[in-house]
């Protein structure tokens, strides 16, 4: 393994760094701390052979990069004196004040916590770290920077120590850094630790990165150049910074190892980051990006308007580059950038910022919550499990308003949270408040958030199919699916019923609903259906193929329901209730058919005849069948009064065939077709016979709403120049 030569930090570098910063530092206090520490460590050396003071200098320098305050820098200078020299805490307190002494004490105590012990002891030690953090978070920030420098110089240590230190870094410090949002530090210590824990994998990934870096850099460079060119005239006060983002080696490893993705899948994800001065410029930049490249729908996320709970803010969008390669663009201000990279440490850099205090407070809240949650648990195993999951970057834990902790994988949404509480909470969820603020359903939870699930009191409320794509846990997914399986039954019944009705209608069959279980009994048995609903559901999901049984049903219908004298009964009113169009006195739900002899239409005077099968056959009052029956007094009791129902907008239509005679002119067909189209009258059939006298006899079958409309149509047809006669056939 090749190691880059480590920078050896000097006090001059520290002074220069302080002078370069806008932030005000008490330089003389820092100088006194340096001189005091240099003297105390005078005869000590690092494993590298450098004077020991180079280490506190390095830690101080890193903390300056984070923008930490004077007391933190002083404490960093002094962080190893109490542990490694004769200096006492009292001396430090006298010389540098209570705060610096407290920070040094905290770091010293943290250093004494042995992290590699039995699991329950490890849990207890982690608890101590958390406690120290909750008292003054600067303690852990110093400790993390101390660890960073020790990791950078780990190659000087004996091999046996390397592995332990690397493990401790990976298991304890990296997760803490992650929790504190200190991304750059976390990435670096993770990569450094990974290098010692799995040197082979580390160098493999490093090699792969090198092999592909040319192609990658060429793509990113061309994108960066295109954007920079476009930005030049866009009126930004300062030139926006455009970076191509590179994933950490351990990040790639984790993805490949844990998600089983290929190196190409992970590596070929391109991303560009744009950093500007103001929020206004963020949106301006976004507009320009969306103008330059085609955005992929639904991939835009506005974390500026709705920051993540860990304070992360940025605009995210994914667009298609000129080469057709998609890439992600993150747009943020410098302050947002520092928060994203340095996490909690950014608080000190922007201490004067309006939200500084609130941000820090909400960061610290989760630490207190872990500690409290731990104190309530008596089971040691439970504590270990809690801490492990709490500190694992793969898990987050959020709280119910009552303080119950819900552990979920990273990326879990409020939907996962709701189903984790209870299936019914999930099914009834209509939204959620996170830390008192309404969030969208795809809101991803982060540790420490308090989630209040809002439920619907509507008994019909249920999950949405789209939730399946939003939620993260299998638990939530399977609960949503099982809801839909149950729910789908209702949908299937509705659909199956509609299909059956449609098929009956198509075949002019009308079976009273109460007869259906008997009418369909044979087929229900054949398909193992216990109830008519089961049968509908089976039709709905395709388990019963209607077309395969229709012939049998038609035969059966013929046998039981159809008029014997009318082999093809035309059931014109398939809708069940009064929408039939005809009201039969004293009867409801009776089958109504229209006699083929006279084809009554709404508006005609009608009369009903009770058939030998089921239902009433409707005739026109001037129909010869009726007139003959009256004249001969045959079965007068079977003739009953019927009348047309008041036709509504959904009035059924009636088929009528017009018998038109016209002088030989083939254009008559075109005229009729055109007229029907103009009048929006469905023309279902048209045929022409040439008569011996040379005239044309046209039969046009149309659907009409009633006599009034039909008379109008007949009048219009009669006006065509070649038409001789028009009759209802």
CB of 83 to Mn ion, least distance (A): 8
E strand or H helix at 387, and its extent? helix 380-391
The Cα diameter of the chain in Å comes to: 137
E strand or H helix at 582, and its extent? strand 582-584
Closest CA to 154 of 124, 193, 123, 184: 193
Q: Residue 146, interface with Mn ion (CB under 5 A)?
A: yes
Nearer to Mn ion, 146 or 191 (CB): 146
CB of 264 to Mn ion, least distance (A): 41
CB 387 within 8 A of CB 370: yes
The one segment of 75-83, 215-223, 333-341, 670-678 that binds Mn ion by CB under 5 A: 75-83
What would you report as the CA-atom Rg of the chain, rounded to the nearest whole angstrom?
Answer: 42
The one segment of 134-142, 144-152, 332-340, 446-454 that binds Mn ion by CB under 5 A: 144-152
Closest CA to 236 of 264, 196, 275: 275
Which of the 8 DSSP states describes residue 579? G
Kindly list the distances between the CA atom of residue 23 and the CA atoms of 70, 165, 194, 333, in Å, as whole numbers in the listed order: 10, 34, 35, 19
- DSSP strand pairing (451-455 vs 429-434): antiparallel
Ranked by CB distance to Mn ion, the top (closest) residue is: 146
CB of 80 to Mn ion, least distance (A): 5
CB 614 within 8 A of CB 573: no
| Size, binding site for Mn ion by CB under 5 A | 2
State how far the Cα of 583 lies from the Cα of 602, in Å rounded to an integer: 12
x/- track of binding to Mn ion for residues 76-115 (CB under 5 A): ----x-----------------------------------
CB 601 within 8 A of CB 704: yes
Cα dihedral 370, 372, 378, 379, rounded to 10, equals: -10
Nearer to Mn ion, 111 or 393 (CB): 111
The one segment of 142-150, 263-271, 333-341, 391-399 that binds Mn ion by CB under 5 A: 142-150
The one segment of 141-149, 343-351, 491-499, 657-665 that binds Mn ion by CB under 5 A: 141-149
Coil, strand or helix: which one is 314? coil
Contacts of 31 (CB under 8 A, 6+ apart): 11, 15
21, 35, 83, 265: the active-site residue:
83
Nearer to Mn ion, 107 or 220 (CB): 107
The one segment of 146-154, 398-406, 558-566, 696-704 that binds Mn ion by CB under 5 A: 146-154
CB of 281 to Mn ion, least distance (A): 41
Nearer to Mn ion, 146 or 187 (CB): 146
Closest CA to 279 of 245, 305, 298: 305
CB of 153 to Mn ion, least distance (A): 10
Nearer to Mn ion, 150 or 709 (CB): 150
Nearer to Mn ion, 61 or 535 (CB): 61
E strands present in 103-258: 241-244
x/- track of binding to Mn ion for residues 29-68 (CB under 5 A): ----------------------------------------
Nearer to Mn ion, 54 or 318 (CB): 54
- The residue whose two tokens read 């991304």 is 183
Beta bridge partners of 687: 699
CB of 146 to Mn ion, least distance (A): 4
State how far the Cα of 48 lies from the Cα of 156, in Å rounded to an integer: 5
84, 105, 119, 452: the active-site residue:
84
Q: Which of residues 439-498 bind Mn ion (CB under 5 A)?
A: none
Nearer to Mn ion, 75 or 658 (CB): 75
- The residue whose two tokens read 């507009």 is 287
State how far the Cα of 59 lies from the Cα of 55, in Å rounded to an integer: 6
Q: Up-side HSE of residue 463: CA atoms within 13 Å toward CB?
A: 31
Specify whether 84 is catalytic: yes
Specify whether 71 is catalytic: no
Nearer to Mn ion, 80 or 416 (CB): 80
CB of 68 to Mn ion, least distance (A): 16
- DSSP strand pairing (654-662 vs 696-704): antiparallel
List of residues contacting Mn ion (CB under 5 A): 80, 146
Residues marked active site are found at 83-84
């Amino acid at each position: 393994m090749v190691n880059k030569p480590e920078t050896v930090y000097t006090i001059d570098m520290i002074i220069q760094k302080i002078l370069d910063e806008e932030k005000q530092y008490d330089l003389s206090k820092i100088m006194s701390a340096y001189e005091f520490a240099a003297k105390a460590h005078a005869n000590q050396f690092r494993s590298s052979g450098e004077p020991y003071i180079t280490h506190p200098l390095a830690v101080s320098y890193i903390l300056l990069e984070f923008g930490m305050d004077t007391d933190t820098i002083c404490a960093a200078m002094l962080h190893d004196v109490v542990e490694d020299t004769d200096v006492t805490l009292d001396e430090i307190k006298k010389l540098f004040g209570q705060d610096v002494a407290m920070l040094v004490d905290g770091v010293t105590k943290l250093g004494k916590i042995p992290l590699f012990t039995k699991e329950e002891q490890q849990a207890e030690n982690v608890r101590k770290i958390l406690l120290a953090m909750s008292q003054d978070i600067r303690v852990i920030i110093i400790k993390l920077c101390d660890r960073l420098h020790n990791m950078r110089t780990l190659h000087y240590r004996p091999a046996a120590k390397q592995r332990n230190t690397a493990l401790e870094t990976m298991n304890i410090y990296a997760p803490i850094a992650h929790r504190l949002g200190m991304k750059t530090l976390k990435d670096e210590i993770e990569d450094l630790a990974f290098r010692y824990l799995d040197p082979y994998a580390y160098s493999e990934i490093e090699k792969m990165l090198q092999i592909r870096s040319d192609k990658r850099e060429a793509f990113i460079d061309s994108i960066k150049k295109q954007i920079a060119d476009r930005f030049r005239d866009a009126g930004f006060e300062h030139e926006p910074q455009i970076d191509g983002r590179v994933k950490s080696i351990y990040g790639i490893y984790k993805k490949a190892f844990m998600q089983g993705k290929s190196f190409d899948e992970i590596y070929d994800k391109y991303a560009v980051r744009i950093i500007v001065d103001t929020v206004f410029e963020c949106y301006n930049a976004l507009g320009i990006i969306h103008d330059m490249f085609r955005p992929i729908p639904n991939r835009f996320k506005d974390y500026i308007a709705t920051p993540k709970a860990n304070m992360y803010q940025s605009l995210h969008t994914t667009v298609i580059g000129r080469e057709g390669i998609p890439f992600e663009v993150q747009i943020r201000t410098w302050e947002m950038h520092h928060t994203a990279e340095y996490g909690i440490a950014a608080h000190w850099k922007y201490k004067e910022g309006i939200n500084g205090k609130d941000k820090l407070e909400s960061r610290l809240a989760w630490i207190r919550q872990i500690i409290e949650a731990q104190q309530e648990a008596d089971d040691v195993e439970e504590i270990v499990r809690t801490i492990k999951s709490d500190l694992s970057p793969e898990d987050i834990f959020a709280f119910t308003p009552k303080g119950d902790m819900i552990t979920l994988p990273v990326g879990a949404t409020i939907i996962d949270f709701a189903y984790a509480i209870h299936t019914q909470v999930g099914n009834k969820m209509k939204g959620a408040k996170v830390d008192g603020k309404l969030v969208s359903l795809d809101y991803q939870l982060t540790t420490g958030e308090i989630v209040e699930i809002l439920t619907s009191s509507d008994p019909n409320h249920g999950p949405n199919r789209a939730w399946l794509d939003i939620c993260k846990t299998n638990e939530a997914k399977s609960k949503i699916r099982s809801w839909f399986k149950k729910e789908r039954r209702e949908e299937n019944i509705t659909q199956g019923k509609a299909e059956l009705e449609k098929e009956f209608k198509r075949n002019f069959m009308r079976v009273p609903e109460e007869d259906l279980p008997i009418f369909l009994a044979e087929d229900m048995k054949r398909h193992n259906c216990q109830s008519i609903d089961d049968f509908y559901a089976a039709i709905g999901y395709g388990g019963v193929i209607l077309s395969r049984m229709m012939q049998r049903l038609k035969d059966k219908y013929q046998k039981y329901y159809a008029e014997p004298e009318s082999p093809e009964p035309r059931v014109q009113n398939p809708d069940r209730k009064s929408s039939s169009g005809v009201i039969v006195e004293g009867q409801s739900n009776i089958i109504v058919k229209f006699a083929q002899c006279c084809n009554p239409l709404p508006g005609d005077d009608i009369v009903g005849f009770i058939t030998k099968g089921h239902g009433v056959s409707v005739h026109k009052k001037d129909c010869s069948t009726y007139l003959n029956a009256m004249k001969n007094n045959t079965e007068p009791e079977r003739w009953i009064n019927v009348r047309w129902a008041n036709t509504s907008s959904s009035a059924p239509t009636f088929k009528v065939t017009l018998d038109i005679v016209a002088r030989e002119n083939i254009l008559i067909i075109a005229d009729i077709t055109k007229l029907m189209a103009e009048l929006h009258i469905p023309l279902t059939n048209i045929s022409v016979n040439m008569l011996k006298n040379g005239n044309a006899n046209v039969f046009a079958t149309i659907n009409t709403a009633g006599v009034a409309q039909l008379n109008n149509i007949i009048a219009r047809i009669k006006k065509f120049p070649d038409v001789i006669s028009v009759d209802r056939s």
